[in-house]
Structure 1
């Protein structure tokens, strides 16, 4: 399974920013490709000496289209019945990480965290916020 992500971040002040990350799950049906699409707006608070760089904490929310897989056993013929249904889930999460900045504006960051989907009776209860990214500051 792969969950590639594309992100945009807007610096509000020297120590804070807002951003939007879009991710799409790719893989075949045998993988854990439950996440079809995620939109994750986030707010970051930076603790580094440079502008929007260094250690950060992140608060985020998510809107996700996920594939809910239901496996049922049929006692009459002894077979399992698998059904897939796409649902839209909403969640809240947090992450921590570090952003590194070069003199010519290239960035690299490492972050990790987790979010939890709201509501009950979901087979997928969480979404990941783990990554290593490379980017360019304009």
Structure 2
């Protein structure tokens, strides 16, 4: 009985060591990322992204964009954008990717100009949902630093007639950390 019990413990120990070496073998295989868009401050905004990797080729994430300087970005107030990405790179969740995204957005209402064509009044803010697609590229270092460039284009679905815009665009040059 003691020999059988000892043999089971030894086999379990070898299995545990093997399982641990399998998960630690790939330094790129960490499933969470947090990123900061470096282009957003140029337009008076801040954008933060969180991404969760499902496997080697796909991930889901959410992006939050908030305008703090309305002199640079006159129309957009904020947006929250969940997305799904498919990666074509050989490394874990990196390289070229395509994405599909949704977006809940707050945009300034339509501007109504006076006859002098200089002064205007603005309707109340418009809340809408947009759907779109994008593409990009991601580089991940062994230390977990993430560098990403992406663009996206989408259309407002419900209230485009109440604002001066009917499209949304996403531009990003981001830096982050994979953990």
5+ long unaligned stretches in structure 2: 1-42
Mapped pair 1:73 → 2:114: yes
Q: Does 1:111 align with 2:150?
A: yes
Q: Cα offset for 1:26?
A: 2.7
Distance 1:137 1:85, change over 3 A: same
Q: Counterpart of 1:98 in 2: which secondary structure? A: strand
Map of 2:128 onto structure 1:
89
Could you tell me whether the CA contact under 8 Å between 2:58 and 2:85 is conserved in 1?
Answer: yes
The TM-score normalised by the length of structure 1 is: 0.88
- The reply on whether 1:55 has 2:87 as its aligned counterpart is no
Q: How does 1:1-138 map to 2 (within 5 A)?
A: 1-28=43-70, 30-73=71-114, 80-119=119-158, 120-121=160-161, 122-138=163-179
**Cα offset, 1:79, TM superposition:** 7.8
Shift of 1:81: 3.9
Gap change, CA 1:45 and 1:128, over 3 Å in 2: same
Alignment check: 8 A CA contact 2:87 2:94 kept: yes
Deviations 1:112-135 (A, max 9, x none): 121111134131212221110000
Report the RMSD for the aligned CA atoms in angstroms: 1.9
Kept in 2, the 8 Å contact 1:26–1:33? The answer is no
CA displacement 1:79-133 (0-9 Å, x = unmatched): 8441241110110011100000001111000011211111341312122211100
TM-score by structure 2 length?
0.69
Does the C-alpha gap of structure 1 residues 102 and 118 become closer, same or farther in structure 2, counting only changes over 3 Å? same
Q: Distance in 2 between matches of 1:79 and 1:23?
A: 30
Evaluate the alpha carbon distance shift between residue 32 and residue 84 of structure 1 in structure 2; reply closer, same or farther with a 3 A threshold. Answer: farther
Query: Structure 1 or 2: larger strand share?
Result: 1
Q: Report if aligned partners of 2:144, 2:178 keep a CA contact under 8 Å in 1.
A: yes
